[in-house]
Amino acid sequence: MTTVGYGDKAPKSNLGKTIAIIWMFTAVIIISSFTAGIASTLTIGSLQTDINTAEDIRLVENVSAVGATSSEIYLLQEDIPINQTFASPIPALRSLAKKENDVLIYDRTILQYYINRLALNEKVNLLPITLKENYQSFMLPKKHPAFDLINVGLMKEIQQNSWEDLQRKYDVKGR
């Protein structure tokens, strides 16, 4: 794009020479940008680590968790060293966004909520995997008068169309 052939055809007028110079600089910039884009894509692709199991987490240097949770217990059971423990998910996510830690292990639904709430979508990536399934529940004292009322209310809520919208909002169905 910067050559004019064998020299048998070249611009003769000043306007033609100016257009040729502009064309050559533009071509050099376009080709170098294209090459840089390909190189950075290949480099970023090779640096990213796929985490699918506890064994993959062992390969990560700085693993963090929210303390006194099933996430911390899971890491301890799997003998995965914890670099830093946080009191709540908000400072843990902020630390991850600042790249002070490489991986944060915690409840997927809660992480998705805080990533959206704190607008961290551009800074952190929530992986589409679940290392261990946890079930959530409500607890009431025995023979509590509201037990049946809460059960019926939950069942009605789950059967509404808005329940699916809520699950999509927090990406619960993606698990």
Q: Which domain holds residue 164?
A: 137-175
End-to-end CA distance of the chain: 50
Determine if the pTM surpasses 0.85.
Answer: no
Residue 85 lies inside a defined structural domain of this protein: yes
Total structural domains within the chain: 3
147 vs 142: CA distance, rounded Å? 9
pLDDT tens string 14-38: 999 899 889 888 988 998 998 988 8
Cα–Cα distance, 71 to 89 (Å, whole number): 11
**From start to end of the chain, where are the E strands?**
63-66, 84-86, 103-105
173 pLDDT higher than 60: no
Predicted confidence (pLDDT) per residue in 57-114, tens digit = 888 889 999 999 989 999 999 999 999 999 999 999 999 999 999 999 999 888 999 9
pLDDT at residue 149 in the model: 92
Instruction: Give burial (CB, 10 Å; 0-12/13-18/19+) of 82.
Output: middle
User: pLDDT band for position 175 (50/70/90)?
Assistant: very low
Of 16, 17, 20, the closest CA to residue 2 belongs to 20
* Range ranked top by mean pLDDT from 50-54, 65-69, 133-137: 65-69
- Does residue 124 belong to any structural domain of this protein? no
Return the ∠ at Cα 42 (arms to 44 and 48), rounded to 5°.
30
User: Would you say residue 119 has pLDDT above 90?
Assistant: yes
Kindly state whether residues 145 and 107 are assigned to the same domain.
no
Structure tokens at 4: 């004019």
Whether the per-residue pLDDT at 163 is higher than 70: the answer is yes
Do 64 and 96 fall within a single domain? yes
Q: How confident is the model at residue 174 (pLDDT cuts 50, 70, 90)?
A: very low
Helix (H, G, I), strand (E, B) or coil at 107: coil
Residues 70 and 111 in one domain: yes
Supply the pLDDT for residue 75.
Answer: 92
Provide the token pair at 84.
Answer: 């830093």
User: Is 123 part of any domain?
Assistant: no
